[in-house]
Amino acid sequence: MEAKSSIRPTPPVIETRRIVKTFPSGREVIQVLNGIDFKLERGKTASIRGESGSGKTTFLNIISGLEALDSGQLLWNGNRVDLRHFGELAAVRSSQMGLVFQAYYLLPELNLWENVLLPARLRGKPGSLERERAEYLLHRVGLAERLKFSVEKLSGGERQRAALARALMNRPRLI
């Protein structure tokens, strides 16, 4: 007989079960994700490789709750994600996830420092700690000299570094 352990293992930060995703393409339907099982344990890093157009961005959008799936399950920290609860998901995303997008999505009407500070602003009025953190993060990605710079004048790599600083702003559990 086995003794029952009272210690529950920590659930994966992200888990997907048999995720299927299709997109309409003219009269056809293209199946982009074909039943993906994936787990990311706490403290681990995963890299997803595949040809251009193979579905990497689609998968990342799905696991961050930004895109609907056709079938399958998505779990965050062991909890089923229900995309109908959009507001709750946005709150979890804002407090626990830092997203770096392929297309950056920096806001041109805000300067560099304001872009990095934005995740803190969305959670309330940022204090001096947050303002200093935004500056520190820009320093860490090598953009300390450009705090008031227009993001539209940044190079692609500089934008990506700025997006990384923004993703780290709220000290996310998951990047």
Ligand X SMILES: Nc1ncnc2c1ncn2[C@@H]1O[C@H](COP(=O)(O)OP(=O)(O)OP(=O)(O)O)[C@@H](O)[C@H]1O
Binding-site ranges for ligand X (CB under 6 A): 23, 32, 50, 52-58, 102
45 binds, among Mg ion, ligand X, none (CB under 5 to 8 A by kind): none
Q: How far is the CB of 67 from ligand X (least distance, A)?
A: 8
Contact of 12 with 79, CB cutoff 8 Å: no
45: its two tokens: 């890093």
Nearer Cβ to Mg ion, position 79 or 102?
102
Shortest approach of Mg ion to residue 104 CB, angstroms?
Answer: 13
Q: Does 160 bind Mg ion (CB under 5 A)?
A: no
Strand ranges for 3-84 from DSSP E: 14-25, 28-40, 71-76, 79-80
Residue 96 binds which entry of Mg ion, ligand X, none, CB below 5-8 Å type-dependent: none
136 binds, among Mg ion, ligand X, none (CB under 5 to 8 A by kind): none
Which residue, judged by CB position, is nearest to Mg ion in the bound state?
57
Contact track, Mg ion, 91-110, x by CB under 5 A: -----------x--------
HSE-up of 45 (CA within 13 Å, CB side)?
A: 1
Q: Which two tokens stand for residue 130?
A: 């947050």
When binding is defined by CB under 5 A, the residue of 57, 77, 95, 160 that contacts Mg ion is: 57
Tell me how many residues contact Mg ion (CB under 5 A).
3
Enumerate the H helices of the chain as residue ranges.
Answer: 56-63, 86-96, 112-121, 128-140, 156-168
Token pair, residue 162, equals 């700025």
Where b means 16+ CB within 10 Å and e means fewer, 106-124 reads: beeeebbbbbbbbbbeeee
Smallest gap from Cβ 57 to Mg ion, in A, equals: 3
22 binds, among ligand X, Mg ion, none (CB under 5 to 8 A by kind): none
What residue has token string 């930060």? Answer: 13
List the single partner that 127 binds among ligand X, Mg ion, none, CB under 5 to 8 Å by kind: none
Residues of the shown chain interacting with Mg ion in the complex, contacts defined by CB under 5 A: 56-57, 102
